[in-house]
Amino acid sequence: MTSATDLAAMLCSRLCHDMLSPVGALANGIELLADEQDPAMRARCIELLEQSARISTDKLRFFRLAFGAAGGFGEAIPIEEARQVIEALAADARRVEVHWAIAEPSLPKPAIKVLLNLAQIALESLVRGGALDIGAERREGAVEIVARARGERIAFDESIGRALQGELDESELTSRTAPAHMIALLAEELAGGLQYKLGEGVLVLGAVLPEPEGLIG
């Protein structure tokens, strides 16, 4: 059985892996700017620094909501916060259109965590661009969530699918599968469940999560 320490270590590894590129670009840009005298090249360096800083900020905002302890466990989180984070990541990935179908103004924090992680998994599968459809609704005391990736090519590691369904072998826990494993544990704690379906040019990820008491209605 995977320990909480192992999971935390893998999530930290994932954060470090995703932050390495933009933070490294910041460091390189500052070094180049210190030595560069040509005005046009200095302007280009500053542009790259601004881009790297924005990407770093976008990723940290995602990690804060998707992995961290922002807000209380049972508190509601505005949908707009999740939307801004996902649309920023999609803009960084480029060639991905995001479509939202969520009428609710807010959702319980566990649902937001699951939504964000499913959206990121779907987004990462669109290696050649495409469309990311995200929907969620409250129904009979539960939150139903769906993230659908549609594109020319879908790249999806089946070990992530096993993690989502709670069937991950201990040896398969990596920084890549840790987020899926984390939300599978979260869904289990709520007596809910996750599922996925992979087809030609489409990946559908779903969740049904009973709402914490006090947030139903």
| CA separation for the pair 55, 79 (Å, rounded) | 21
- What are the phi and psi torsion angles at 55 (to 5°)? -65, -40
> pTM of the predicted model, to two decimals?
0.88
Second-level CATH architecture of 4-210 = 2-Layer Sandwich (3.30)
Q: Which two tokens stand for residue 113?
A: 């965590």
- List the domain boundaries for the chain: 4-210
Mean local confidence (pLDDT), 184-212: 95
Residue 212, pLDDT score: 67
pLDDT in tens, 18-71: 889 888 888 888 888 888 888 898 898 899 899 899 989 999 999 999 998 655
Q: Of the candidates 129, 110, 131, which has an alpha carbon nearest to the alpha carbon of residue 186? A: 110
